[in-house]
Amino acid sequence: MTVETHVHGGIDSDHGIAAGFAPHAHWLLRAALTSVFLFHGLHKFLVPGIEGFAGMMDMPVAIAAGVALAEVLGGAGMIAGATIRGRLGDLVTRLSGLVLAPVMIGAIAMVHWGQWSFVASQTHPMGGMEFQVVLLLLGLYFVIRGNNG
């Protein structure tokens, strides 16, 4: 017998252990996005304050507040979208991903562009764009797939 005939009951995605978890795998991506964006969004409101964040980024306070609010609402929306049944939940998920995309594009353009590695360097003290690109792509995944992923 070959290996292919022994995978049934193993870890493949159609049978066995993974089959039971596959419908819930989206929670892994949602948890990743939610944890990052809720932390960063709430942090902007609490630790440096919106004025501190705005000053650090050299942007108007209203824009800084919009960024922080988008992070909080986008992150929370990832969880809410999965818990709301039907088309409304799908819409909430898609809009949450859509809200997060410009935040990541802005972070890449304003802070991280020009260096790929997330490791801080002399030219990029906040690191490169590697992590931000991953977050952007995860957000876009949910824009495209909604709750059907």
pLDDT of residue 5: 46
Domain boundaries, the chain: 26-145
Q: How many CA atoms lie within 13 A of 69 on its CB side?
A: 6
50 Cβ contact partners less than 8 Å away, ≥ 6 residues apart: 44, 61, 64, 65, 68
Q: DSSP 3-state assignment of 1?
A: coil
Sign of the torsion angle spanned by Cα atoms 31, 36, 40, 43: positive
Find the radius of gyration of the CA atoms of the chain.
Answer: 19
d(CA 89, CA 87): 5
* Per-residue pLDDT tens listing for the chain (149 residues): 455 544 455 555 566 777 888 888 899 999 999 999 999 999 999 987 999 999 999 999 999 999 999 999 999 999 999 999 999 999 999 999 999 999 999 999 988 888 767 777 787 777 778 899 999 999 999 999 999 86
Q: How far is CA 12 from CA 1, 31, 76, 93, in A?
A: 17, 23, 32, 28
Instruction: Flag whether the pTM goes above 0.85.
Output: no
CA distances from residue 13 to 16, 17, 27, 95 in whole angstroms, order as listed: 8, 8, 16, 29
Residue type, 85: R
